[in-house]
Amino acid sequence: MQELLEEIRNSLKEKGYKITQPREKVLDIIIKNQYKHLTSDEIYVLIKKDYPKIGISTVYRTMQLLERINIVCKFDSDEEGIRYELMEPNDKYQHPHLICKNCNKVYPVKDINLEQIKNKIDKNFNLKIIDYSLKFYGICKNCSKL
């Protein structure tokens, strides 16, 4: 975890961004919850417990910055709004997500490369895609047992 945090810090510094205390707190929460898909509001609530000075707008701006420099990726989970996911070092592209309609748990599907599909659409339809996402909805094993 510490190694990942250091890698992200270095990436921010290389791109000319300062490592402020609020950014550090946001990164800490994202890394501690790296297998969850949190909203900015959820990140804010988790940080506020230990760092009450932080404002919600700071969290929103930090998440926008982290997305812009490919440290996190976002996707719209419809009912719950924009969620963020920490990009792993080898992640270069967005990937599909499976979403349980009952408990709203999100499962990333990392072995499908949407970039290939995007490039094919770019080429075949002469359309410059600027954003994309692919979501599958269903009922997870835990919920189907209920």
Residue 143 known to bind ligand:
yes
- 47 and 59 Cβ atoms separated by less than 8 Å: yes
- 73 and 84 Cβ atoms separated by less than 8 Å: yes
Rounded distance, CA 13 to CA 137, Å? 38
Longest pairwise C-alpha distance within the chain: 51
- 104 and 79 Cβ atoms separated by less than 8 Å: yes
Provide the 10 A C-beta neighbour count for residue 27.
Answer: 21
Q: Which among 134, 133, 141, 68 has a CA at the least distance from the CA of 100?
A: 141
Residue 103 known to bind ligand:
yes
Binding residues for Fe cation: 115
Binding residue numbers: 100, 103, 115, 140, 143
As annotated, the binding site for Zn(2+) includes 100, 103, 140, 143
